[in-house]
Amino acid sequence: MPTDPFVATDLDDRPRQQQNLPSGVAYPPARSRSGTRPGELGPGRPAGSLLGSPGPDVGFGYTLARRSKGRLCIGAREHPADAMAVVAEVAMKRATFFGRAPVMADIDVAAALLGYDHDADPEFAAQRASFVSEADHEYPVRRAIVDAVPEELLRLRPEELAPRISGWRAAVCAQLAVTPVARVKVSE
């Protein structure tokens, strides 16, 4: 069977463009690239209040949170939309540390951290209800809760995370009780 002359017969063959260069000339090595266009992020992650967690297709976290609505144990004083918004954003933050879009495992970790997985004691559930109130509509409320979750917890596998959840819950309750979540509108 005839073969196209530009199809390599084995993987070690040189690229077809190399044969068109004069003898003794080779392609230079690739140069490093830095973002110079508006909207491109530099090599580091942006840090600060209300900046969020930029990553690939992070908005898919909201879709996954809606799909898991039936599995979330939402308290009587909580609105499901508030709970799903906070779970989705914690999952999005976790996904960005791995450089990917959110997956259902991120939703499960977020639900476990926030006690929406049927594992929260009543005291934490009552405090959580006050913290997540209006989180669906107020970005600063959501960001305060999401920013309270440390990176080292989000990088853990679910089985490694379980023993550390209760300590984090106590710390976040103390932190958000001392510094109440700002209920201010973000200027547009």
**130-168: pLDDT as tens digits:** 888 898 999 898 888 898 899 899 999 888 888 898 888
Kindly state the DSSP code that residue 37 receives in the 8-state scheme. S
Give the residue numbers spanning the domain of 118.
Answer: 60-178
When mean pLDDT is compared across 43-47, 85-89, 96-100, 153-157, the lowest value belongs to 43-47
CA distance 182 to 146: 13
The residue ranking higher by pLDDT, 59 or 2, is 59
**What is the number of structural domains in the chain?**
1
Query: Model's pTM, two decimal places?
Result: 0.71
Question: Is residue 163 in a domain?
Answer: yes
Cβ-Cβ contacts under 8 Å for 82 (sequence gap 6 or more): 132, 133, 134, 135, 136
pLDDT score of 91 more than 90? yes
Question: Is residue 161 in a domain?
Answer: yes
Question: Is residue 122 in a domain?
Answer: yes
pLDDT score of 62 more than 60? yes
